[in-house]
Amino acid sequence: MEKLLTHLTRFMLLFTLCTAWGSCDHKSHEITSMTERLIELDDSLYFFPKEKSLADLFDEFDSIAQICAKEGDHSSEVMLRHIMADLQTMAGHNALAFNEARKLIEISDCEFSQGIYFLTLSNIDIELNLFAKARQRLLEALDRLPEQRTLHTRMHLHLLELNVIQQSYNQAMLRIDKIERLNAEKGLHTLPHNIQLRYAAWKALAHIYSGDIEYGQKLMLDFEANESLKSFDGYELIHHLLRRNYHHILKEYDEAEHHAIAYINECLKFKNRHWEQNAYARAGKIFEESGDLAEALPFYQRAVHLRDSLTKVSMNREEVMLKEEQQLEDQEYQLWKKRHTLLRIAFLGGLAALLLIAGIIIFLRHLNRKVKRSNLQLKEAHRKVNESIQAKSVFLSNMSHEIRTPLNAISGFSEILISQPDMEKEMRTECNNIIRENSMLLLKLLNDVLDLSNLDIEKMSFSLNHHDVVAIGRSITNMFQNIKHSSNASILFETEVSELTLYTDENRLRQLLINLLINATKFTKEGSITLSIALDKQGENALFAVTDTGCGIPLEKQKSVFSRFEKLNEEVSGTGLGLSICQSIIQRLGGDIWIDSSYTKGARFVFSHPTTKTDKL
């Protein structure tokens, strides 16, 4: 071990002369040869016999980490701190190991440091038998660490061990496949020896535990026949572990007992008390299952003794660490208090000056924003006035034309009736019909203007009650079918429901539907005009649609048709208020109206009406 550390120290000194890495932030997605060497060093400690105390090893690594910190080699410092945390974990000092883990984030907050931090925590969790948490931390580490073969193989191996322990054998097979693919190019034999040993053993155990005992036995025999593995430290330890578990599963208790005792002896060589405790507990279980309770008892007693010892040591270490942290916090508090007293006066004086300056700046900015806002409001008001003047001019022009036409007809035909008392009956009837139609047109124009005015000030009266809208729709289409109008198109009614009761205003709903149908007759000379009623998929709204086969509405004008005084064809009679009134009515009833742009054979107006009473009604 001393020789290995001497080699590492020399390597570090050489590194200070030729920067092989640089800062973690500068090359956060690379793994240099220096970091690879440290990864292999950490792996070599796994089975390295502890001739030196862990405290001595820890101090030597700490001194090397300090050299890395001075040289700005954050990645190597992170790996060294990770190794130091592993050493504390091996000694059972989980609190101290966690303290080392926290230093990883303090060194650097890059992806590499975060990944090593989660890897370190996973090792602590495994020692504490918190397997689910360890698995989650390993997955976090895999997401953050760059894909270095040895490092990723090591993490997948940890996950393989956890999968076998938690009896997740399908996941274990996936881990085996990932490890094989990760090392397909260079081969598993180029990995650090402890990874080779552990992978061969856990691969065999995964197949044995999953029920594939024949293949698992083959892997175990291949492992024992591999002469190159036998020269590695830890071979006997892994060999007896594998044999013990294999014979235990097959209930071959004599062989299992022999290898359980041999495994305990190997664990003693490595002075890992966690391994010893687990080894004694497993040996006790094997002897107990074989029926030899007298032999099982000493193993259980030793396992309990080791567990209590580890718990006591860990608690003592944690208590010392907490006291040291408390003392450090007290010292920092006193220092902070003195510094705070010295800075307080200067701070208050500076604060007063800053507040005065800030107040002036805020006032000026507020004043500037107020002026800008006033200018914008003035411009907007000016724009609205101009629009209003223009809209009124257009409205008056339209109204004068629309009112003059029926008035001229009424006046002209009235004079004919008066001036020609001997007129034929048929001619007189025709004149009366023309006068009546133009009177109705004039009345409709006036009603549209009044409705629009009432809707603007929300004074239009609504009489809400429950009505069958299918019956209303059918009666309206029958009415259109029986009266003369300017279109030769057929008026149709379609619905899949026989009855649909809505909470609505019957008169306003009729007004809305009649407006849409009249609008359709103006632009549909031939073909059909269809009123349809259906429910949406959720059943929350009734959907009314008026579909015609007329000239249609250009896509770019479909949004503007609901504006007031908007007329797409000036030659067609009307003030351009009908659709705007329709929109206001349906919105007051809690629905909405739009044009179905996907329909291209004419125009299709659709509006929705809630099937239940809403807050708007």
pLDDT band at residue 197 under the 50/70/90 scheme: confident
* DSSP per residue, 444-488: HHHHHHHHHHHHHTT-----EEEEEHHHHHHHHHHHHHHS--S--
Three-class DSSP category at 250 = coil
pLDDT for 533 equals: 93
The secondary element (H helix, E strand) that includes residue 501 is strand 501-505
Q: For helices 469-482 and 506-523, what crossing angle results, to 10°?
A: 40
**pLDDT digits over 567-615, tens only?**
666 556 665 677 888 888 888 888 999 999 898 888 999 999 998 877 6
**pLDDT digits over 546-558, tens only?**
999 988 888 888 7
| Of 131-145, 270-284, 456-470, the least confident | 456-470
Could you tell me the CA-to-CA distances from 575 to 39, 130, 449, 483, 515 in Å, in that order? 84, 79, 9, 23, 12
Q: Can you give the pTM of this predicted structure?
A: 0.43
Give residue limits of the domains in the chain: 1-17+36-139, 330-460, 464-610
370 or 394, which is more confident: 370
Give whichever of 188-192, 404-408, 592-596 has the largest mean pLDDT: 592-596
Residue 593's DSSP bridge partners are 607
pLDDT for 388 equals: 64
CATH topology (fold) of 1-17+36-139: 1.25.40
Cα–Cα distance between 174 and 135 in angstroms, integer? 14
pLDDT band at residue 4 under the 50/70/90 scheme: very low
* DSSP per residue, 258-315: HHHHHHHHHHHHHT-HHHHHHHHHHHHHHHHHTT-HHHHHHHHHHHHHHHHHHHHHHH
| Of 80-84, 364-368, 398-402, the least confident | 398-402
33 or 119, which is more confident: 119
pLDDT for 449 equals: 67
Hey, which bits of 384-468 come out as E strands?
464-468
Total residue count of the chain as it appears in this document: 617
- Residue 610's nearest CA partner among 542, 545, 546 is 542
Q: What is the chain's mean pLDDT, rounded?
A: 77
Residue 545: pLDDT over 80: yes
Locus of tokens 């409001």: 377
pLDDT for 395 equals: 63
- In degrees and rounded to multiples of 5, residue 233 shows phi and psi of -65, 135
pLDDT band at residue 27 under the 50/70/90 scheme: very low
Residue 15: pLDDT over 70: no
| Of 25-34, 229-238, 286-295, 440-449, the least confident | 25-34
Residue range 464-610, CATH number: 3.30.565.10
**pLDDT digits over 300-310, tens only?**
888 888 877 76
- The stretch 406-414 carries a mean pLDDT of 71
pLDDT for 310 equals: 67
Three-class DSSP category at 129 = coil
- Residue 522's nearest CA partner among 568, 565, 556 is 568
Kindly report the CATH class assigned to 330-460.
mainly alpha
- In degrees and rounded to multiples of 5, residue 531 shows phi and psi of -100, 125
1-17+36-139 and 464-610: identical CATH topology: no
Percent with pLDDT over 70 in the chain: 75
- The stretch 473-477 carries a mean pLDDT of 89
pLDDT for 131 equals: 80
567 or 480, which is more confident: 480
CB count in 10 Å sphere of residue 84: 27
